[in-house]
Copies of this chain bind each other. A is one copy, B any other.
Amino acid sequence: LVPKTFSETEAEIADIRELARQSGVSVATVSRVLNDYPDVSDDTRERVLAVAAELDYMPTAAARTLVTKRSHVVGVVLYTGHEHPDIQHPFFQEVLVGLKHSVGAQKYDLLLFSTEDDENGFGTRGYLKRSRHHHVDGVVLMGVDGRDPAVRELSGSRIPCVAVDLDLVGPRTGYVMSDNQRGAELAVEHLHELGHRRVAHITGLMTTKPAADRLLGYRAAIDRLGLRYRDEYIQEGDFYVESGYQATKALLEGPEPPTAVFAASDLMAVGAMQAAHERQLSIPDDLAVVGFDDIQIAPLVRPALTTLRQDKAGLGRAAGEALVRMIEDTAFTPPILTLPVELVVRESSGPPMTHDGETHDKEV
């Protein structure tokens, strides 16, 4: 029971050896206790645990990782470059919360890779390299471009990956996504039910899967409902406000402007409202607007935005759960998950003004 040197005025940080000494057992036994091995006598276990608590002992992750090859850390690749200078898309923030909660519950922490446009030193952005460097047990990818070679390198590796809103697959890579197509259909159906026949669509960034799926859903609904599909009712946006604004201006300048517009994001829907407002059009009377996402601001804008709610936290949670399963069970196949979306009707959608509400359209 020789006390260790108390040279420092601050408390020494206890070591597993120190713990062993004070418990009167070997480090191996301490390790067994700490890792819940069954073959330890209750007596010993209790004693070690007591000393551990007293010393406020906590194992060093680095040492453990080094030998076990597991870090209990999940990497997060989340693009936060300068593409959209002031704005982060609010979507991912909420996903992150869900993710954090679900992996946290399983005792994993999140490592945010600081990955901007420009290389910050070693290599450009070697996601795989960095994942190995930190020995992360798995990775969640969000807001990145699936065509990026660095992304493909990672998704092609044996490190478990889950992408959010991105159709990435690989030997150990799956993804979670909202039911974007169905969501778009719901949007169009809703507008159709209200009496709209001239429904335009502002797409998201067309290099992304969600944008493509929403356009698909839009078309499918248009066809199924017997509405006429018109090329000039499609405007390409990029998910952000400004593009929605420009797209709507263009739509409104046409010879036969739409009475309703379905934007593939709430941000673009807000832009659409601004454009309408600028032309003295009232919403929803002159122009009905439906968004997608149901971000925080959706109920706060005036008029409150009708939109398709994505279960953002749910996406994060699903991603986290899937990832942990993949990590802990090598046999578990990378899943592809689709989460339902929900139409939330607020004030920005209503019937078209009567004079063009009814039947002068060519239904089937």
Contacts and interface: CB of A to CB of B under 8 A. Distances in A.
Interface of A: 10, 13, 56, 58-63, 65-66, 71, 73, 76, 80, 86-88, 90, 93-94, 97, 100-101, 103-105, 107-116, 120-122, 126, 129-130, 132-135, 158, 241, 270, 277, 296-297, 300-302, 313
A111 B114 contact: no
Q: Which 8 residue pairs of A and B lie closest in terms of their CB atoms, listed nearest first?
A: A104-B114, A62-B65, A297-B297, A110-B112, A302-B302, A62-B62, A62-B66, A93-B93
Contacts of A100: 80, 112, 114
Given A93-B93, A134-B61, A110 B114 contact: yes
A13 B135 CA distance: 12
A121 B59 CA distance: 14
A135 B101 contact: no
In the assembly, how many copies of this chain are there? 2
Contact of A133 (B59, B103, B132): B59
Given A62-B62, A62-B71, A300-B241, A114 B134 contact: no
A296 B104 contact: no
A355 to B, nearest CB: 26
A350 B66 CA distance: 63
Contact of A109 (B93, B107, B114, B126): B114
Contacts of A270: 300
Contacts of A108: 114
Given A65-B62, A66-B62, A93-B93, A104 B133 contact: no
